Structure 1
Amino acid sequence: MTNLPSLRLVALGGGGGSAQTLLGARPFFAERTAIIAVTDSGRSTGIARQIADIPAPGDLRNVLATLAAAPNQTLARLMQYRLKSPSFPFLDGMAIGNLMLGGLVQMEGDIAAAAATARELLGCPEHILPVSTANTRLCAELADGRIVVEEVAVRTPGKPPIRRLFLDPPAAAYPPALTALATADLIVIGPGSFYTSLLATLCFDGIVETLRTTPATIVFVCNTTTQPGQTDGMTIADHVARLVEVLGPGVLDVALINDANALHPAIVARYQAAGLHPLSLTDTDRQAIRALGVEPLVRDLAEPDPGHRELWQKADTIRHDPQTLGLALWKLALDRMQ
């Protein structure tokens, strides 16, 4: 690969999907940057925000720990460790890394400086940036006109569909994040929580405007399943259409879609029982996506079934295999440069 061009990839989204994308991108992209959501308000992240008066640290924590030079050594494991504190329910389940980042924010001045210090301590080879240093709230207007405030309310199941997202108060994107987008060769949006991670990052002033002018190829990695409280009943074409609605026409280039037909029926049944329905591209979806000016590409991207995983107050999902995803993105980048 020494004679191939040096490529710059930027992953935009939440802590889980962006980490998987960047792990897979390591063998293929010389420069890799994560631009991470900071509006989560649930679980221990929300409590850490209250304790330290900071933007959401949880997604940054997950990316930092996952991309650490030695993810199995003590510091990275400590960042992900959840405190067992039944006598103090307020702290029970608190991810230690959220408190560490809270302390670093207070020591260093803001969440970007805190992430930079943690990245240095962990030896992460990727650049890891918050989408903003502002401490703001993610809000949504629902289909019935109601307004819900804070990310945890935006993703609560059983409510009407989400009509639009906004920040209260409005906030600007972190300038180095805009520079990374403007100078990238490939920008990857997703996978991740569609509204509360992916579209949430697009709410910050400057992000959409920069995506509209960057020369980079922009790829949406579609989730493998629907997400309760966010994308119930949505098709793959619905996901792409909503993203195009936010970005504007002619901005998104490719939708990279998992081949749901490759999933074992028992795996599909297990996730459906939990309210997560695997997304499958139909001919109608394909036509609708192309009509939006976006190229749908279908690949077998799902990781081998790990069995049921117990996650802290969060629904499990079918994750993308990092190596397969990274290879697909690299091939796409090379094809687009020809």
Structure 2
Amino acid sequence: MTRSIHVVAIGGGGGASQVLRAAQSFASRLTAVIAVTDTGRSTGLARAIGGIPAPGDLRATIANFATDPLIARLLQHRFSGAGVPQLEGMAFGNLLIAALAEVQGGFGAAVRTAAELAGCAAEVLPVSDANTDICAELEGGALVRGEVHVRGLGKPPIRRLFLREAAPANPAALEAIRRADLVVLGPGSLFTSILADLLFDGMAEALRAARGQVVFVCNTTTQPGQTDGYATADHVRRVAEALGPGALDAALINQGTVDAQRQARLAADGLLVLAPSAAELAAIAALDVRPVVRDFGEPSGVQRVLWNKQDTLRHDTAALAAALRELIA
């Protein structure tokens, strides 16, 4: 393509990075708008130390697009905790962002400086500079507070998601969304990454006003504690409802074959592979959302070792790139 293309990816560190990697083949400008309400182990401790929003997904995204390999390794380096058990698993990049926030007097400035140090090939923006938490009302009326509890296992389904205190979205993120040629939500944790980002004031309005197409990359599996029992259409419906009528243009939906051994491995971790039926696809189309159905699944391979998270069936970058390029065209 000859014209300049700007792609914005919204979500957590893993999903947004994968979308932007796919978009690198045709886009000249890449922007990640990243969740800030994580309260996990390393990120939660960094939040407490620095009094900041969650730095973990931002750190990972910066490292993924760092042009300086040493800085990328440093950002992702995790301490062993030898002698200081509280630091076991702490990512150095989380501490760096917390320190920069204190030195520079702001979280947004800290993230920008970390990205500059890494020579980041993408613009990485926190969805908000507000230090707040997500909360959920569960079926039956119980309330839970904090990302760890919102995604906790063995609880009733999530009925409603909200912020502990209302907070504005990052103005730079809103402007990027409104002016982008393509805005992509997901893949990633439906409630604690994607829908959490949409809770900040101005996000849904910016997506409704976006001049480019707004696309949701639907997850390939359910996620324990968040989407147990969900079908593909349930994922799309939740996002469409959060954005409002007519805002979501398309949903990229995986419909590939997954071998029995891999399905069994995923099921052992509570992740069930989503296989949308014709009726589900019709229900998605009835939401005025175009279903783009393909085999988006990554080739079979070895199981990855992740920090304190489940491995899942990821999207194939080349297949994702082809679909996003077609949506732009």
With normalisation by structure 1, the TM-score equals: 0.95
Residues in 2 aligned to 1:288 and 1:105: alpha-carbon distance in whole angstroms: 46
User: Given that residues 256 and 296 in structure 2 are in contact (C-alpha distance below 8 angstroms), is that contact kept between their aligned partners in structure 1?
Assistant: no
Q: Which of 246, 255, 279 is the aligned partner of 2:274?
A: 279
- 2:302 maps to what in 1? 307
Residues in 1 aligned to 2:224 and 2:83: alpha-carbon distance in whole angstroms: 31
Q: Which of 125, 128, 131 is the aligned partner of 2:124?
A: 128
Say which is worse superposed, 32-41 or 211-220, in terms of deviation. Answer: 211-220
1:28 Cα shift? 0.6
Letter in 2 for 1:34: A
- 1:226 maps to what in 2? 222
Q: Which of 190, 205, 211 is the aligned partner of 1:209?
A: 205
Alignment of 1:64-143 (within 5 A): 64-70=62-68, 73-143=69-139
User: Given that residues 57 and 101 in structure 1 are in contact (C-alpha distance below 8 angstroms), is that contact kept between their aligned partners in structure 2?
Assistant: yes
Q: Secondary structure at the match of 2:87?
A: coil
1:117 Cα shift? 0.8
User: Given that residues 23 and 323 in structure 1 are in contact (C-alpha distance below 8 angstroms), is that contact kept between their aligned partners in structure 2?
Assistant: no
1:20 aligns with 2:15: no
Q: Secondary structure at the match of 2:86?
A: coil
Q: Which of 217, 238, 243 is the aligned partner of 2:239?
A: 243
- 2:326 maps to what in 1? 331
User: Given that residues 188 and 220 in structure 1 are in contact (C-alpha distance below 8 angstroms), is that contact kept between their aligned partners in structure 2?
Assistant: yes
Say which is worse superposed, 146-155 or 111-120, in terms of deviation. Answer: 111-120
1:31 Cα shift? 1.1
1:267 Cα shift? 1.3
Structure 1's unaligned 5+ residue stretches are none
Q: Secondary structure at the match of 2:223?
A: coil
Letter in 1 for 2:67: A
User: Given that residues 303 and 318 in structure 1 are in contact (C-alpha distance below 8 angstroms), is that contact kept between their aligned partners in structure 2?
Assistant: yes
Pairwise CA RMSD: 1.1
Residues in 1 aligned to 2:316 and 2:238: alpha-carbon distance in whole angstroms: 25
Q: Secondary structure at the match of 1:237?
A: helix
Residues in 1 aligned to 2:67 and 2:319: alpha-carbon distance in whole angstroms: 21
1:326 Cα shift? 1.9
Structure 2's unaligned 5+ residue stretches are none
- 1:182 maps to what in 2? 178
Aligned-residue identity in percent: 53
Letter in 2 for 1:53: G
